[in-house]
């Protein structure tokens, strides 16, 4: 560890002395965990200890559930207009926005991502919150909508019935999130869940979570009623206790497909709902009529952004034969010149955060020791199976990184990858690109659809009609059809997305993303009308 990394780490440790980064948040109060245990988190750039944090266990989860049940039974939050709830959430978002600099330094230290990328991501999260807040009034307008409004397209109820739809909150719900964009993934659940009127318990990932604790502080400062949101960190036991609790009527989960299956199992006996945002193995399909420079930039952004630790990372390159050799040559050339990000906390100035290229112009460490080991295991297995390593394939030396230690992996491109190889079929979640080539459009579609995942994919071509034909046949919740690479990995809050196959169940974002946190209910008035029912009672 050199002097610079020590200084930046000390600065983050000062931020972390605040109460919200040292306690669980249950029932509107920052509290110590019942068992009094802690667990450590390390700076991925060096492996140095970053912080010790309270470890929430099943008992703490139970306390948070009890607080949520009490708030739900009391009913103030659920009975407010959604637009009024949205005002409270907007205050929370402003609290986060006012502290982006500090939170980005904390996420840079916790995840190992360059400061400027963390700042851009958290800024994106607060911008997204404004969208969620704008939907409060939309949800209010959807309450008590007559079933036969709009001409009874789906048929009209019997004469004499006055039937309306309502969208009710679900009740006490669990939000379990992943570590790769800690605050973004968590707040994308918290904001719509609260605006919909639920009482929620957030359980962030035990791998990187510190910025999520600030959501609790923002909730307290915004005046969110006690018990409506609790935040309990802890490992998979805490998550499992939350998912299995009979009092929890829904789990919204973001994480790996393997854990998603366990969540479904936990929800099955009580037939409670689960929304699952899971892993991916996205394909970038490049036709040979694509501009080479754009293909290079898109490939790099697709697999290197956030060190490849992004669910929609385009880690499979499906390239048409004529472009394969020039594209691989250019990738090797660019990757072998990429500088390493020795100190993510202070990585502010290199690159242009406003341009797509700025996202992948340094090599960041991966998040933790176990993830580092897992990625290297994938590489060892691939090499043993005879894949060709175009570039990378191992761990950079200290001179290349700028210091000893840390969880760095060389950005790696593998070719001659078998379709059934793990590096083609499984999510590596690191800076590893696997390449296969094709000749015909039919083969391109076959390659793109050759894994159990279906989260996102991109087709690049200068022929719009061809791009459309292929995009229509790709099985993924979000497909980008582009001649430029523009928009790759971008998400717009109004555009719904989610997974086909092993990439998940349900949809996030858009109005459908808010509806996920509601139950649709019909009220059937007979003998009197809704208008009668709305009049003040006389008795
Ligand atoms: P993970 O599945 O290991 O853990 C996710 C969360 O689940 C953590 O909070 C963990 O403590 C909890 N958990 C683990 N076992 C549990 C159990 N049995 N019951 C209940 N909770 C349990 O995933 P991760 O390593 O934190 O995150 C990386 C994964 O997340 C990748 O697969 C990535 O693709 C996926 N991801 C998906 C999206 C998306 O929108 N689709 C976004 C970000 C990340």
3-state secondary structure of 7: helix
Question: How confident is residue 4, by pLDDT bands cut at 50, 70 and 90?
Answer: confident
Please tell me which residue, 535 or 248, carries the higher pLDDT value.
248
**In the beta sheet, which residues pair with residue 22?**
none
Residue 351 has pLDDT above 60, yes or no: no
To the query of whether residue 311 is one of the catalytic residues in this protein, the response is yes
Quick check: 131 and 494 in contact, CB under 8 A?
yes
Q: Beta-carbon neighbour count of residue 427 at 10 Å? A: 24
pLDDT tens-digit readout, 151-177: 556 677 888 888 999 999 999 999 999
Q: Ligand 1: which of 177, 256, 263 to mutate, most ligand atoms within 8 Å of CB?
A: 256
pLDDT tens-digit readout, 424-445: 999 999 999 999 999 999 999 9
What is the pLDDT at residue 347?
84
Q: How far apart are CA 53 and CA 22, in angstroms?
A: 6
Q: What percent of the chain has pLDDT over 90?
A: 89
Q: How far apart are CA 137 and CA 90, in angstroms?
A: 13
Q: CB under 8 Å to 31, separation ≥6 — which residues?
A: 23, 24, 25
Q: How far apart are CA 344 and CA 328, in angstroms?
A: 28
pLDDT tens-digit readout, 47-64: 999 999 999 999 999 999
Alpha helices in 50-197, H assignment, sequence order:
58-74, 76-79, 82-97, 100-111, 115-141, 182-195
Please name the helix (run of DSSP H) or strand (run of DSSP E) that holds residue 414, with its range, or none.
strand 412-415
Q: Ligand 1: which of 189, 255, 267 to mutate, most ligand atoms within 8 Å of CB?
A: 255
Helices 236-244 & 257-267, crossing angle to 10 degrees?
30
Residue 311 has pLDDT above 50, yes or no: yes
Q: Closest ligand 1 atom, CA of 255?
A: 30
Residue 525 has pLDDT above 70, yes or no: yes
Q: Residue with structure tokens 């509601």?
A: 518
Retrieve residue 284's tokens: 């970038």
Q: How far apart are CA 511 and CA 431, in angstroms?
A: 33
Distance 129 CA to ligand 1 centre (A): 22
pLDDT tens-digit readout, 442-472: 999 999 999 999 999 999 999 999 999 999 9
DSSP state of 308: G
232 lines ligand 1 (CB under 6 A): no
What is the pLDDT at residue 354?
47
Quick check: 463 and 291 in contact, CB under 8 A?
no
Question: How confident is residue 1, by pLDDT bands cut at 50, 70 and 90?
Answer: low
What is the pLDDT at residue 529?
87
3-state secondary structure of 392: coil
Nearest to 458 by CA among 322, 331, 280, 325: 280
Retrieve residue 123's tokens: 């800024």
What is the pLDDT at residue 3?
67
Residue 42 has pLDDT above 80, yes or no: yes
The least confident of 176-185, 311-320, 357-366 is 357-366
Distance 173 CA to ligand 1 centre (A): 17
What is the pLDDT at residue 349?
62
Q: What is the average per-residue pLDDT within 87-102?
A: 98
């Amino acid at each position: 560890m050199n002097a610079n990394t020590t200084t930046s780490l000390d600065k983050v440790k000062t931020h972390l002395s605040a109460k919200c980064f040292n306690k669980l948040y249950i029932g509107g109060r920052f509290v110590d965990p019942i068992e009094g245990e802690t667990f450590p988190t390390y700076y991925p750039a060096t492996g140095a200890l970053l912080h010790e944090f309270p470890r929430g266990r099943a008992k703490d989860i139970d306390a948070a559930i009890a607080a949520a049940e009490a708030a739900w039974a009391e009913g103030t939050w659920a009975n407010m207009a959604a637009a009024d709830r949205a005002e409270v959430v907007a205050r929370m978002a402003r609290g986060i926005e006012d502290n982006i600099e500090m939170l980005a330094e904390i996420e840079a230290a916790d995840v190992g991502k360059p400061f400027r990328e963390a700042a851009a991501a958290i800024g994106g999260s607060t911008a997204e919150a404004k969208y969620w807040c704008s939907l409060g009034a939309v949800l209010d307008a959807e309450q008590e909508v007559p079933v036969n409004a709009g001409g009874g397209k789906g048929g009209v109820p019997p004469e004499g019935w006055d039937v309306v739809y309502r969208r009710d909150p679900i009740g006490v719900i669990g939000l379990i999130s992943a570590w790769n964009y800690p605050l973004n993934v968590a707040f994308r659940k918290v904001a719509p869940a609260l605006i919909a009127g639920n009482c929620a318990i957030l359980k962030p990932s035990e791998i990187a979570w510190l910025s999520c604790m600030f959501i609790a502080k923002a909730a307290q400062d915004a005046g969110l009623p006690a018990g409506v949101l609790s935040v309990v960190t802890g490992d998979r036991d805490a998550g499992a206790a939350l998912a299995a609790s009979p009092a929890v009527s829904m789990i919204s989960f973001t994480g790996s497909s393997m854990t998603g299956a366990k969540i479904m199992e936990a929800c099955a006996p009580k037939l409670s709902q689960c929304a699952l945002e899971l892993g991916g193995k996205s394909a970038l399909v490049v036709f040979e009529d694509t501009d080479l420079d754009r293909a290079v930039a898109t490939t790099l952004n697709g697999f290197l952004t956030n060190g490849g630790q992004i669910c929609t990372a385009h880690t499979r390159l499906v390239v048409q034969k004529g472009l394969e050799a020039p594209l691989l040559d250019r990738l090797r050339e660019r990757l072998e010149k990429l500088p390493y990000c020795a100190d993510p906390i202070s990585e502010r100035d290199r690159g242009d955060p406003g341009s797509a290229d700025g996202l992948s112009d340094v090599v960041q460490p991966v998040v933790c020791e176990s993830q580092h080991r897992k990625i290297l295991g994938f590489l060892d297995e691939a090499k043993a199976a005879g894949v060709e390593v175009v570039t990378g394939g191992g761990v950079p030396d200290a001179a290349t990184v700028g210091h000893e230690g840390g969880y760095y992996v060389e950005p790696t491109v593998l070719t001659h990858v078998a379709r059934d190889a793990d590096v083609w079929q499984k999510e590596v979640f690191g800076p590893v690109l696997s390449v296969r080539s094709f000749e015909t459009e039919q083969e391109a579609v076959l390659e793109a659809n050759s894994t159990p995942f279906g989260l996102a994919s991109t087709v690049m071509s200068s022929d719009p009609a061809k791009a459309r034909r292929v995009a229509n046949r790709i099985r993924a919740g979000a497909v980008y059809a582009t001649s430029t690479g523009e928009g790759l990995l971008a998400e717009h809050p109004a555009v719904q997305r989610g997974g086909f196959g092993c990439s998940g169940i349900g949809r996030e974002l858009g109005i459908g993303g808010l509806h996920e946190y509601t139950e649709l209910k019909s009220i059937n008035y007979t003998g009197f009308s809704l208008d009668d029912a709305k009049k003040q009672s006389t008795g």
